[in-house]
Structure 1
Amino acid sequence: MHQHATPATGGSPARDQSLSQWQAITRQAIAATREAGAGAALDGYERALSIARQLVAAPPPGHAEDCVAALVVSCHNLADLHLDHGDTDTAARYLCRAHETLIALMVDTDRSASLRQAALHHSRQTHLALISHVASHGPHPLVTRVLRAGCLALNVDGPARH
């Protein structure tokens, strides 16, 4: 299993406590994986994802990039964990969830420009993770649907170009 790095949060004492909590739980889950195997880390990774969702819903000022990264890392860590157990279907769901969330953030004009920009930046990673999943494990209907929906969402207002 290849755990994903946690987002850089700097050393600011004003940093939101939830981001610190997410980071600590993620590190504990990674350590649990190394010491006791992937099964021991499941609860930690799920708690980290729950915190990451809250962070993306209301990112602390100046930390949109870190919050979006936390969500992507959490989903990808859970996908890796399920892949290690041979559960490609659940892994695909976590990868899709990450990509769908980022696409929704990118097109939501009620969200801050920094959060939308962070979602765009990280959507490249989630898009590649979906392509890689298909290349390694074969086609998956949910992955196909999410990739198509993402392309449509990003091209809906633009004219077709050749």
Structure 2
Amino acid sequence: MQHWKRTTETANRLFDQGELVDAREHYLQALALAQVLFERWHDVDEAVAAFVIAHHNLADLHLRLNQPHESADYLCAAHQRLLQASQESRLPQALRDAALRHSGRTYTELLSFIAEYGQYPRTERLLNRHAPEASELAARPDATHRSPAYGIH
């Protein structure tokens, strides 16, 4: 997890300096690390948060590059994976629960994105396909838990 954190911090620094190509490379490395850690890290909340942060950082980067379609793809990928993970019986219950908790944040981020940038094909497909689950999730009081903070949002 330390390697993921260092990679993300480097990417954030490059992002802040306007070095977007280099930032993207580091964000992609952080995403690859987060994907590996997702099912392997002992702290499931940290693992899921790293996964979400990695996606959201790339979404922010693509917004800075005026590429909202790519941003939508990263936001949808994170949300979709968490919804899938929350239903995968092969995963430990703690990881499934963490995925469900964090999917409240990814759902909120998707709705905020759509409010500002409009619908994109992938957002529309994802939200229409998972509309009953998303509505149920949004209604859960623990689904809007705000800690930990995500990415550079």
TM over 0.5: yes
CA distance in 1, matches of 2:76, 2:128: 11
CA contact (8 A) 1:78 1:91 kept: yes
Show CA shifts across 1:14-51 (max 9, x none). xxxxx111111000101111234333200000000001
Show CA shifts across 1:60-105 (max 9, x none). 32x1110100010000000000000110110000000000100010
Equivalent in 111, 133, 137 of residue 131 of structure 1: 111
CA distance in 2, matches of 1:112, 1:83: 35
Q: 1:122 deviation in Å? A: 0.7
TM-score (norm 2): 0.83
Q: 1:153 deviation in Å? A: 5.3
Q: Which residue of 1 aligns with 2:72?
A: 92
CA contact (8 A) 1:29 1:41 kept: yes
Residues 62-101 of structure 1 mapped to structure 2, 5 A cutoff: 63-101=43-81
**Runs of 4+ residues deviating >6 angstroms:** none
Indicate the structure (1 or 2) with the bigger Cα radius of gyration: 1
Say if 2:114 is the partner of 1:145.
no
Task: Give the number of equivalent residue pairs.
Answer: 135
Show CA shifts across 1:109-156 (max 9, x none). 11111101110111011101111111111111210111122334579x
CA distance in 1, matches of 2:72, 2:16: 23
Give the percent of matched residue pairs that are identical in Structure 1 and Structure 2. 32
CA distance in 2, matches of 1:154, 1:83: 24
CA distance in 2, matches of 1:108, 1:154: 17
Which letter maps to 2:44? A
List gaps (5 residues or longer) in structure 2: 136-153
Equivalent in 95, 118, 124 of residue 115 of structure 1: 95
List gaps (5 residues or longer) in structure 1: 1-18, 156-162
| Larger RCO (CA under 8 A, 6+ residues apart) | 2
TM-score (norm 1): 0.78
CA contact (8 A) 1:88 1:137 kept: yes
Which letter maps to 2:40? P
Q: Which has the higher helix share?
A: 2
